[in-house]
Amino acid sequence: MRLVIFVFLGILFLNCKEVQSESSVNNAPESTAGVSQEFKARKISLFGQIRPGALPANLEMEVNQALERLEFVEPDTSLVRGTDLVIGLNGENGPVAIPIKYLSAHEVANIKVEEEALLVTWCPIVGTARVFDREVEGKTTFFDFGRAMRGNNLLFVDRNTNTVWNQLSGEGIAGQLEGKELTIVPSIQSTWDHWEQQHPDTRLLINRDNSNPVWPMFIEEVPYYNTWEPGDGPPGSYTRHNTGNLGFGISLKGKSVFFPLAKLQSQDSPLEYTLGESTMIIHYSKEGMTAWAENLDGQVLPGSIAYDWAWKTFYPATVVYKD
């Protein structure tokens, strides 16, 4: 059964990659720090996985163009439903939400919120949405989508140095900047209802690139991959993606902790937790299908929703919260 499901996941994974390469909009982004930011189709030699569950091997990874033209729109129930997952940002320029369903099959988006250049990523295999600063080694860059995986997790490539980066670790795994880490931008992964209730003045940022089958009219026709929310088991009830495996992970100053959502549900929220020398406040919302951490000044810290097995893959020494 497990083999069948991994094969099924692999087919979906490859399909979602293939729809981008020829039909993607050919944007002409600005030059940054003297480096051309035009997208160039390319392949990169890499030790990784060609599909979820595959044994890692040496391969030639194709690089596909990421999204670059998301648009701000007024919140509208025809565009986002209350139970849809969003990635929420609340920076100096006010709250912004990006519905995850508009990232499915693309999984990587270069956005700009006022003057802040950001990378938005979504990996349904591990259940994680993460946002990164696009400034790397003092230069702002664009990122593209790698058609391979490492640890069953999303890979992406920067255009300045052609370094391959892993989403959950935030680390360069191949190329000029191997071993370097991207700066994680604090965000909250939750339902749209939860985010909008907490931030009624939020703006909505969506993808209108209709070259990909995740364009809204197709979402209901391809329900498994495009609406795969954390906690929804794939066909065959593959247990690694059940809600009981979902939690909130955070890594600070070389130490990490994972809070199973089931444990947080049994606790009063918020709760105070100390990780090494860092004291944080952990918030949980069952209805919002989310948890997040704040410091004692109320600032959101850079944690992530993830499946337990995925978090432990990249943070094997993590502490698991037991109350």
According to the model, what pLDDT value does residue 223 have? 46
* Rounded Cα–Cα distance for residues 305 and 264 (Å): 13
**What pLDDT, on a 0 to 100 scale, did the predictor assign at position 79?**
84
In angstroms, rounded to a whole number, what is the distance separating the alpha carbons of residues 295 and 92?
17
Strand partners, 278: 275
Q: Could you give the 3-state DSSP secondary structure of residue 323?
A: coil
| 3-class state of residue 21 by DSSP | helix
Residue 92 confidence (pLDDT) = 86
pLDDT tens digits, 157-200: 999 999 999 999 999 999 999 999 999 999 999 999 999 999 99
pLDDT tens by residue, the chain, 323 residues: 444 444 434 434 444 443 333 333 333 344 444 344 789 889 999 999 999 889 999 999 999 999 988 999 988 888 898 988 999 999 888 999 999 888 877 899 999 998 899 999 999 889 999 999 999 999 999 999 999 999 999 999 999 999 999 999 999 999 999 999 999 999 999 999 999 999 999 999 988 765 554 455 555 544 444 455 666 665 555 566 677 789 999 999 999 999 999 999 998 999 999 999 999 999 999 999 999 999 999 999 999 999 999 999 999 999 999 97
Q: What is the dihedral of CA 219, 224, 226, 227, to 10 degrees?
A: 90
What counts of helices (H) and strands (E) characterise the chain? 6, 24
Report how far apart, in Å, the C-alpha atoms of 60 and of each of 22, 106, 146 are: 18, 19, 10
Q: How many CA atoms lie within 13 A of 217 on its CB side?
A: 5
pLDDT in tens, 51-60: 988 999 999 9
Asked whether the beta carbons of 21 and 29 are under 8 A apart, the reply is no
The predicted structure's pLDDT at residue 251: 97
The pLDDT of residue 211: 59
- pLDDT at residue 29, as a whole number: 45
Omega into 124 within 30° of 0, i.e. cis? no
The confidence score (pLDDT) of residue 11 equals 39
Residue type, 68: E
132: which strand partners?
A: 119, 184
Residue type, 246: L
